[in-house]
Amino acid sequence: MAAKKAEQALVDQWREMLALHARTQCELDRALHQHGLCGSDFEVLDVLSGESCAFRVQEISERVHLSQSALSRLVARLEKDGLVERGMCAEDRRGVRVTLTDKGRALHGEVLPLQRAVLTKMLAD
Q: How do residues 72-118 score in pLDDT, each as one tens digit?
A: 999 999 999 999 999 877 666 667 889 999 999 999 999 999 999 99
pLDDT above 80 for 125:
no
C-alpha 96/C-alpha 92 separation (Å) is 8
The least confident of 25-29, 64-68, 74-78 is 64-68
- Maximum pairwise Cα distance, the chain: 60
Indicate whether 68 pLDDT > 70.
yes
**Quick count: other Cβ atoms within 10 Å of Cβ 84?**
25
Report which of residues 2 and 48 the model is more confident about: 48
**pTM of the entire structure?**
0.86
- pLDDT at 21 > cutoff 70: yes
Interval 31-53: pLDDT, tens: 999 999 999 999 999 999 987 77
pLDDT at residue number 99: 93
Beta bridge partners of 84: 100
Determine contact, residues 36/81, Cβ cutoff 8 Å: yes
Residue 49: predicted pLDDT:
94
For the chain, domains (ranges, CATH) are 2-123 (1.10.10.10)
